[in-house]
Structure 1
């Protein structure tokens, strides 16, 4: 059996329901944000598809015909259920903020601060995911992401949070053992991380060539490389922003001020058109305030 709704746009049913309920094409147009002519056209198109008149046009109002009354009751019930379902989904969605970010940034910077955000927003639960890839946020069920790059991802809007800078970090014991006085001293140091990134840092420090020996260890995540440095395994090239607590506590030493950047920065990203989502706006405003109040970020901004 053919579907009787086949070929009938939902928009026409929506317009019909409003006109029948309000008994006026003009008031229906005002409610729906349409012109009266557009409402009239939609009704005529629906009557043409159904092959019968749905309204009696009176001087100051319209009255549903018998067929219109039957359709009106069903349409009002259906639209009420649809509005309720959409409202429930929207309300539920607004109570969960799903964030995807980078593992080191999540561990070192985001997680220690999220508690304050949740205290300030008790009705909003946070789901934090770490994934190195820039996902299709909407398709994967995420509201926002934090990624490193240039801030120009297709289909995304973005907000710069902090510069992406790297500098040598090591344990106090390693710094003393190596007697680090100038960048050249690192040419013979046991280094942790990718050689090409170290070469970029040496070039920024005015030195050419990576020197020897080669790096001792590389890892998928910056936090793992710094963990090796904390264990006196060598000197890691890492972010002075993300490891500011360890530097302040004396667990890590930053022997030189020279930094290098491999990306323009870390960005908060969200799907185009969702800028006004209340939960995204609250999180964006909170996150920007956090970065503006972070001394390590303020310092890095001044240096880059």
Structure 2
């Protein structure tokens, strides 16, 4: 016979322990802070020992509370996973979050093929350069940039991010058809505040002055920077993989063979316990196959 404390109190404790904040737990569960405090007190009385230390306006887990919280979070994840497959199939909706750059330069050109292969499933695409919070947002999978190693997430490396200066053919022609690395310090740069500029220039042997580079237009994503470069507004630091078609069709010119990297990549991520949900598994298989066909990691 299981000796399980009241499940309502257990559920409240798991949320409060995860946030280590009664107010945040109350907001997540749609309860009042007083109700959360009451359920925690019920559980502590049932166990005969404190699970939180109250310190002024904050609460901290005790050693016993931390041990219990770790196991309970895994247990709730397992419960969620047990029902996730049913929910996913019934909902028939895949919600995907990705950056503006990845969406505009690669994904939206191919996403229709996935939709056609799975007409029973609707796909909702959200674009944001902020990291997805799976615990707080209604998102199934995300494509995010970084170095990987996110706790609790399943990760698949899609492509490595490198970067090199590019401009339009017209911009290059106005400069005599040739630009040297040192010339970039005197030319209009797109998003010169981007740290990629200083790194690339130093690796090219250019002495970079202290402080900001020459002022220029600042844009919030590589997708916008690439289109500004095609419009002749300056030189942009771009990832060649995303702009292959524009390079091949003459809308952009790659100025140098040198490409630098900060060891970042684009990753497909989802909560580890939801990795095998059918709709997520289907999208993962399709995306990895498409990326491989494009030779992103070759």
The TM-score bracket by the shorter chain reads 0.5 to 0.7
- 8 Å Cα contact 2:88-2:279 kept in structure 1: no
CA displacement 1:142-164 (0-9 Å, x = unmatched): 11000111111122111000011
Give 4+ residue runs of structure 1 displaced > 3 Å after superposition: 7-10, 85-90, 210-213
Question: In the TM superposition, what are the counterparts of 1:155-304 in structure 2 within 5 Å?
Answer: 155-178=152-175, 179-195=177-193, 196-209=195-208, 214-295=214-295, 297=296, 301=297
- The 1:208–1:97 alpha-carbon spacing in structure 2 relative to 1, beyond 3 Å, is same
Q: CA deviation at 1:272?
A: 1.5
Q: Secondary structure at the match of 2:94?
A: strand
* C-alpha RMSD of the superposition: 2.6
TM-score relative to the length of structure 1: 0.65
Unaligned runs of 5+ in 2: 9-82
* Cα distance in structure 2, aligned partners of 1:242 and 1:87: 34
Tell me whether 1:97 sits opposite 2:94 in the alignment: yes
Any idea what the Cα deviations from partners look like across 1:60-112, whole Å, max 9, x if unmatched?
xxxxxxxxxxxxxxxxxxxxxxxxx998744323x111000001110110000
Cα shift readout 1:205-224 (whole Å, capped 9, x = no counterpart): 22221599704111111222
Greater RCO between the two (CA within 8 Å, min separation 6)? Answer: 2
After TM superposition, the score normalised by the length of structure 2 is: 0.67
Gaps of 5+ in 1: 1-6, 11-84
Shift of 1:250: 0.6
Distance 1:135 1:9, change over 3 A: closer
SS state at 1:216 partner: coil
| Rg larger for | 1
In 2, are the aligned partners of 1:143 and 1:280 still within 8 Å (CA)? yes
Matches within 5 A, 1:31-42: none
Q: Give the 3 Å change call, closer, same or farther, for CA 156–88 of structure 1 in structure 2.
A: closer
**Matched-pair contact (CA < 8 Å) for 2:192–2:216:** no
Which range moved further: 257-266 or 229-238? Answer: 257-266
Q: CA deviation at 1:265?
A: 0.4
